[in-house]
Copies of this chain bind each other. A is one copy, B any other.
Amino acid sequence: MADTARPARDPRRRYGLRPTMKDVAARAGVGLKTVSRVVNGEPGVTPDTERRVREAITALGFRRNDSARILRKGRTASVGLILEDLADPFYAPLSRAVEEVARAHGALLINGSSAEDGERERELALALCARRVDGLVVVPAGDDHRYLEPEISAGIATVFVDRPAARIEADAVLSDSFTGAREGVAHLIAHGHRRIGFIGDLPRIHTAAERLRGYRAAMAQAGLAVDDSWVALGPTDPGRVRADAERMLAGRGSAAGPVTALLTGNNRVTVTVVRVLAGLERRVALVGFDDFELADLLTPPVTVIAQEPALLGRRAGELLFRRLEGSGGEPRRVVLPTRLIPRGSGEVPPHS
């Protein structure tokens, strides 16, 4: 997995610029434990040492991180998780993993769903902050997260997962959607397909845009032109997906003819396309982005580009708690690889 720090656009937004307890300890020439004792009003510090620590605090403008303090103080800490869709099983292992990390840190996890609505996401995030969560893990729906800056400045650690933040620099844990989609399409091309369709999620969603980019890159790399009619982006409701799939498979509106293979942009799209293909006489190749339950027991078993939703959740949760425990530094972007799992549907040859 790639684990890279990106430069922050606005220095005031960097986590690293807020002095940490470590900075105070270094300046006062004492250990971290001593600073912690002074900050939390605990005994065991000589008056002289306390004075030096307080001077360092003043000099550096150190502000106690209330979140970290609360985590230490024994009040039940809580972290919030904002999901995009409660009904998408992709988020189930992700949520559970964040919950397990929270529990390992003695914190409760509180969830909410944005239902893919940026305004709803904002409302929920601020409602959770107002209800004193110590940190937030966000699967973002919105396209502008500047509303979170005051919360982040106030010490609410925030980690984005599955999709990056927009218009602020913040920690993010993502899957490599671009490479995954490119490999999926290359796999279909390697099995003889030339007319390949892509049915994806709304183009404003980061993962949908990245997967489309991967699809186009693989086609371009193989010297294949993409007919406009082979790309369909939109909401993942079954009616829309079914209509687009049937249109592409019939070659309607296409000068280049019907597709012989499909890349589906996420598991919600895939399960609908599986239903469409089950009703056809001829066999059409299918590679689905996201693994899903029972994919291997279908006929044919479905070839997928698997993400690791549990690992996404775990990495996001761990990063959140490292921030809550005072870890500074630039916002980090963690990118997890995907994995092509050939099972049958992606190895179907083109019908002649």
Q: Interface digits, A241-270 against B, CB 8 Å rule (1 contact, 0 not)?
A: 000000000000000000000000000000
Contacts of A275 in B (CB 8 A): 297
Contacts of A294 in B (CB 8 A): 271, 274, 293-294, 298
- Segment at the interface with B among A57-65, A104-112, A187-195: A104-112
Closest to A81 in B: B111
Q: How far is the CA of A113 from the CA of B108 in the complex (A)?
A: 9
Closest to A128 in B: B110
A108/B89 in contact, CB under 8 A: no
Closest to A94 in B: B86
Contacts of A4 in B (CB 8 A): none
A124 within 8 A of B: yes
B95/A92 in contact, CB under 8 A: no
Q: How far is the CA of A124 from the CA of B103 in the complex (A)?
A: 12
B95/A86 in contact, CB under 8 A: yes
B96/A87 in contact, CB under 8 A: yes
B108/A110 in contact, CB under 8 A: no
A111/B108 in contact, CB under 8 A: no
A278 within 8 A of B: yes
Closest to A294 in B: B294
B113/A109 in contact, CB under 8 A: yes
A40 within 8 A of B: no
B96/A86 in contact, CB under 8 A: yes
Binding site for B on A (CB under 8 A): 76, 78, 86-89, 92-93, 95-96, 99, 108-113, 115, 123-124, 127-128, 131-132, 271, 274-275, 278, 293-294, 297-299
